[in-house]
Amino acid sequence: MQMAILSRLYPCKECADHFKEVLSANPVQAGSQSEFSQWLCHIHNVVNRSLGKLVFPCQRVDARWGKLECRECACDLEGSSTETETDKQQEVTVFYCNWYY
């Protein structure tokens, strides 16, 4: 999988170059959805650390975004919200659903 293309999403050349280095040092792990989720979280945290930001506890990925194998407890591909879900959370959920599926 060629993930370096993701660096083209950054308008800042310095950020794009740094992200390429991060991807080069951390090859994609995508043997399963769970493994890929953990890899994405790790990459996110590498970047956050370099920016002096808080990191997300990767063991909480499923609790935060739901297990992808369980459609009832994860993504609503139709975009309908639950009573407790804010509009922003719904937008993020739909984005990740479209990304993974």
- The 10s digit of each residue's pLDDT in 24-33 is 999 989 899 8
pLDDT of 7 over the 80 cut: no
Q: Positive or negative CA dihedral for 23, 60, 76, 92?
A: negative
- The 10s digit of each residue's pLDDT in 39-67 is 999 999 999 999 999 999 998 888 777 66
Let me know if 70 is exposed, middle or buried by CB neighbors in 10 A (0-12, 13-18, 19+): exposed
pLDDT of 83 over the 60 cut: no
Q: How is residue 32 written in tokens?
A: 């399963």
3-state SS record for 37-60: HHHHHHHHHHHHHHCCCCCCCHHH
Are the C-beta atoms of 79 and 97 separated by less than 8 Å? no
pTM above the 0.85 mark? no
